[in-house]
Amino acid sequence: MLKIQNYINGNFHDPLSNEWLDNYCPADGEIYGSLPNSGKEDVDNAYIAAQSAFPSWSQTTLDERSRILTKISELIEANLDRFAEIESKDNGKPIHLAKTIDIPRAASNFRFFAHAITQFSSESHQSIGLDAVNYTLRQPIGVVGCISPWNLPLYLFTWKIAPAIAAGNCVVAKPSEITPATAYLLGDICNEVGLPKGVLNIVHGLGSTTGQAIIEHPDIKAISFTGGTITGAHIAKTAAPLFKKLSLELGGKNPNIIFADCDYNKMLETTVRSSFANQGQICLCGSRIFVERSIYEQFKTDFVNKVTQLKVGHPLNQDTDIGALVSKQHFEKILKYIDIAKKEHIILCGGNKIIIEGYENGYYVKPTIVEVTSNDCQLNQEEIFGPIVTIMPFDTEDEVLQMANDVKYGLSATLWTNDLKRAMRLSNHIQAGIIWVNTWMLRDLRTQFGGVKDSGVGREGGFEALRFFTEAKNICIKY
Ligand code: NAD
């Protein structure tokens, strides 16, 4: 059994209340460990540790911060297999995905911000005619809170922590209670590389208690949050009267728009991934697929054919394409959407759970393609966040643009066309923070990342993250 503890001031601690939560393995539905059900007192202790570390850490040279972040990155890489196996067990994702995407990206997050902080600069303005010069300091905020979801556990956790500490802040962080294991391992690595005690503190527990204590803490001055839209709205409401800086990366319902003039094979192969990678549990998955009518029937046949071949299996098997859904609760939510699909639409493939011999209580669902006739249905309007996509044909660019935007979310969109002008026109008008043309999930960590509408507020990535985790102070000197 894996017993996860809080990491506070460089040491591992049981929760003060001695209350524990069960940690489930989605592949077999069994409890395989426990994690702290931390309360306000644990968060207070984490805050005190962070606050004590801040004066020294915020004055640590950029070279030294960069050196430590680089070492964290190297140690994650050196422990790739162990991290990947635990991520896969904790989350249900195929081991090859954890090995090639999640864990390498967690290492890249630290390496990227180790470099970025040495290149981050602030502005100065000469006030001509007024005999003055203004310069801006970018100062760390102090103690900041980082709260992350379960779908890309270490990947998203480190995407927040790395820029926060690179910029000189100290952190109270909470991973999802559903996937706490790799965040727990990170504590050991931080100690091994000599990250000063208290710079990073990891507190485990439920959103409604541990998370709530972080967002309500009057002296945690910024919250970087990734998770659901409803939670994001609650955090915004709580944090606003406390005047906290907020970055909210929330849900999505992304369109994948396919024109007849695209590179068909590349599109087809990528669309299988953008629909079902990580069991469709990526906020960037293209869950609404719109296909130009002239290739619709062909696409339908080929897409169903490819998706039917995806192998659903135990996440630790090397040849598994689709692992287990993350939790029983999420599994049941997905099955409810399948019921809606059965009643209201045509299911082209999938549409059922799978029992795997030896793992009968695991949360397995066949990748499911549903044909819909309108964008105005529950399946196209609500974020499902699982292995279900819808497909429907369109006739004109105006029509598909209208449908792409007719949803409350605005995270990302994918376009498949070789008509450059059309790609530029649509990219200009699609309401989303991220648009991929003829590719999907190609990430350059220097670029801004975030959504519009109910998909969030603010941007992560590159210098945007370093700007978020610093306060600008302008100094005006008259000469
Ligand atoms: P969630 O909102 O339920 O939980 C996210 C985190 O918030 C967890 O750590 C949870 O414990 C914590 N939390 C819950 N209530 C809280 C509270 N009152 N105060 C403080 N913290 C609280 O989301 P989830 O189910 O873990 O993740 C799935 C969602 O995340 C989906 O909607 C998905 O689209 C979204 N997501 C968005 C992005 C993005 O970059 N925009 C990336 C990944 C996932």
Q: How far apart are the first and last CA of the chain?
A: 67
Residue 375 domain-assigned (yes or no): yes
Beta carbons within 8 Å of 67's beta carbon, 6+ residues apart = 114
Q: In CATH, what number is assigned to the domain containing residue 333?
A: 3.40.309.10
Residue 450 domain-assigned (yes or no): no
Q: Kindly state if the Cβ of 180 falls inside 6 Å of ligand 1.
A: no
- CB atoms near residue 433 (< 10 Å): 20
- CA 15–ligand 1 middle distance (angstroms): 22
For residue 210, what pLDDT is reported?
A: 98
- CA 377–ligand 1 middle distance (angstroms): 24
pLDDT tens, 335-377? 999 999 999 999 999 999 999 999 999 999 999 999 999 999 9
- Distance from C-alpha of 437 to C-alpha of 288, rounded to nearest angstrom: 16
For residue 463, what pLDDT is reported?
A: 98
For residue 399, what pLDDT is reported?
A: 98
For residue 186, what pLDDT is reported?
A: 98
For the whole model, what pTM was predicted? 0.98
Nearest one of 465, 414, 420 to 442, comparing CA atoms? 414
Residue 363 and residue 268 share a domain: yes
Q: Kindly state if the Cβ of 456 falls inside 6 Å of ligand 1.
A: yes
pLDDT tens, 239-249? 999 999 999 99
Q: Which of 23, 93, 147, 448 to mutate to test the pocket of ligand 1 (most atoms within 8 A of CB)?
A: 147
Q: Which one of 41, 64, 123, 249 is the catalytic residue?
A: 249
Q: In CATH, what number is assigned to the domain containing residue 8?
A: 3.40.605.10
For residue 437, what pLDDT is reported?
A: 98
Residue 463 and residue 349 share a domain: no
Residue 234 and residue 117 share a domain: yes
Q: Kindly state if the Cβ of 208 falls inside 6 Å of ligand 1.
A: yes
Low-confidence ranges of the chain (pLDDT < 50): none
Residue 261 and residue 191 share a domain: no
Residue 300 and residue 427 share a domain: yes
Q: For residue 186, what are the domain limits? A: 2-250+455-478
For residue 185, what pLDDT is reported?
A: 98
Closest protein CA for atom 10 of ligand 1: 207
- CA 329–ligand 1 middle distance (angstroms): 14
ipTM of this complex prediction, to 2 decimal places: 0.98
Nearest one of 425, 428, 393, 367 to 288, comparing CA atoms? 393
Residue 45 and residue 87 share a domain: yes
For residue 320, what pLDDT is reported?
A: 98
Active site residue 292: no
pLDDT tens, 456-473? 999 999 999 999 999 999
Pairing of strands 288-292, 255-258: parallel
For residue 178, what pLDDT is reported?
A: 98
Q: Kindly state if the Cβ of 223 falls inside 6 Å of ligand 1.
A: no
Residue 449 domain-assigned (yes or no): no
For residue 324, what pLDDT is reported?
A: 98
Number of domains in the chain: 2
